[in-house]
Amino acid sequence: MEENIERILDSLSPNERKIIPYLEEKDLIEICKRSNLEKVSVIRSLEYLDNKGIIKISIEKRKLIDLGINGILYKKKGLPERRLLNLLNEKRILNFSNVSKESGLSSEELKASIGVLKKRNLIDLKKGKIIFNANREEITKKTPEEHFLEILPINPDSLNQEQGVILESLKKRKEIIQITEEKKIGIEITDLGKKIIEEEVKGRDLIEQITPELLKKESFWKGKKFRRYNVSGPFPKIEGGKRHIVNQAIDYARRIWTEMGFKEMTGPMVLSSFWNFDVLFTAQDHPVREMQDTFFIEKKGEIPQKEIIQKIKESHEKGVGGSKGWGNKWSEEEAKKLVLRTHTTCLSAKTLSELDLESLPQKFFAIGKCFRNETIDWSHGFEFNQTEGIVIDKNANFRHLLGYLKEFFKKMGFEKVRFRPGYFPYTEPSLEIDVWHNEKKVWFELGGAGILRPEVVIPLLGKNIPVLAWGPGLDRMIMDYYEIKDFREIYKNNLSQLRKTKFWVRELK
């Protein structure tokens, strides 16, 4: 037993030695105060002492009802209904149109106040007026809500039925109350712990760690004691560093395209509507350009030299390559509007405009963020990753397009791929891409593809050369691989969850 105590004494850290003399206080706050250590350090040291059998820790969780942000403010200034009552005490009748200004209440606070006072039969609403219809003695009485705020914080289990009704009523109002969870740590000293407390633990001179300086001179460590370390105890898992799951998937997709002989395209996330819409033969009155789909920036951007502008204008107004165009007058000012790119196809358009026809055939890809003015839910976000690709080859055809797509998705881990007819403003023919989900036994859509229309190709290349194009979403592939059910989880950056997530380890086939 003596040998065991000596071994434990030699294993105590400096912080453990600091708190042991005060364990009999059995109160976390008091131990922090007496040892002059922060709460986090004391809790960690208590856990180590628990592992060594010196104490036993118990944790009791309990909920507390307390004041929220607005509750703190209202306790000081008065609840909105109290402030409205005080005003009615002076004037008895208020015009509804002026009451917000006179009372200093927001529309939301005024609405809640009227509801409370109407329920207590203190006011009437007639012809746009708020009329106080009770005795003045009623004004001096505290409301049940005011009484409730005065007793906070309180345990929900101690509420009576009436207080429970008031609680539910206050919950519906913005941030007046909040329900928090409090942890109470209980400390029980074991028989071993009582013996340890009797020992002199503060004055033990132990060497905590081996350093280069310590090893330089024998006199620094000879004849001294090193602190013992328990290498078999339960210690926090140390996670190795790794790239974010989205970056892992992007690196993997980039590797696939480069190994298939494609060159990468890059470009800005903010660019003019000219490159995002006009060059891709999207009509200037097309619904996709409206505010509900696109993030516009309150600034005008630059558009290229007159030669390309004239070709795009002609393509829209009159048509090229046998097309009739859109028949509408094309506006240069509309084309200058800056947007957050809604797809990566704008990078393909820029690449085509800079291409030397003598260098054909060529293959390019891009992977990047796109932005849409979407409502965020489990399947949608206002930003997403897209992988873009084009093949420019006078001998290319629709079968080649299907072959490239099948090969890419096979390497991404999808054995079964199907194609359906689709429509996009800048490709004809167009198709939708579906892949088979083995576990759910369903097809799910990943994006679109097609051959760029003459109205896109001719103004940029000068002649109608086949350009195969595709732009599937990458985030849905990420959700499938990592079995993520909610799109928002991808970008939450929950470190504990990301540490547990597997690496993207699909091998290229």
Residue 436 and residue 305 share a domain: yes
Summarised one tens digit per residue, pLDDT across range 331-347 is: 888 889 999 998 899 99
Q: How many helices (H) and strands (E) does the chain have?
A: 22, 17
Report the percentage of the chain scoring pLDDT > 90: 20
- Is pLDDT of 56 > 90? yes
Residue 166 and residue 73 share a domain: yes
Q: Is residue 333 part of a domain?
A: yes
CATH of the domain at 220: 1.10.10.10
Q: Is residue 506 part of a domain?
A: no
| Per-residue confidence (pLDDT) for residue 507, from 0 to 100 | 47
Tokens 């009582």 appear where?
194
User: Looking at the chain, how many residues does it have?
Assistant: 509
Residue 138 and residue 107 share a domain: yes
Residue 148 and residue 206 share a domain: no
Asked if 81 and 117 count as a contact pair (C-beta separation under 8 A), the reply is: yes
Q: Is residue 342 part of a domain?
A: yes
Calculate helix-pair angle for 306-317, 454-461, nearest 10 degrees. 160
* Residue 202 confidence class, pLDDT cut points 50, 70, 90: low
Neighbours of 503 (CB within 10 A): 10
Asked if 436 and 415 count as a contact pair (C-beta separation under 8 A), the reply is: yes
Residue 347 and residue 394 share a domain: yes
Domain enclosing residue 82, as ranges: 67-181
Give mean pLDDT, residues 53-63.
88
The last residue of a domain, from among 226, 258, 292: 226
Residue 304 and residue 162 share a domain: no
Report residue 241: phi and psi, to 5°. Answer: -70, 145
Give mean pLDDT, residues 362-385.
83
Summarised one tens digit per residue, pLDDT across range 142-195 is: 888 888 888 888 888 888 999 998 898 888 888 899 988 888 888 999 988 888
Summarised one tens digit per residue, pLDDT across range 228-248 is: 877 776 667 777 777 888 888
Q: From start to end of 244-295, where are the E strands?
A: 263-264, 270-272
Summarised one tens digit per residue, pLDDT across range 425-471 is: 889 999 999 888 777 788 888 889 999 999 999 999 988 999 999 98
* Residue 200 confidence class, pLDDT cut points 50, 70, 90: low
Q: 236: exposed, middle or buried (C-beta count within 10 Å: 0-12, 13-18, 19+)?
A: exposed
Residue 472 and residue 421 share a domain: yes
The last residue of a domain, from among 145, 160, 181: 181
Residue 470 and residue 323 share a domain: yes
User: How far is residue 121's CA from residue 132's CA, in Å, rounded to a whole number?
Assistant: 9
Residue 303 and residue 172 share a domain: no
Residue 312 and residue 356 share a domain: yes
Asked if 302 and 371 count as a contact pair (C-beta separation under 8 A), the reply is: no
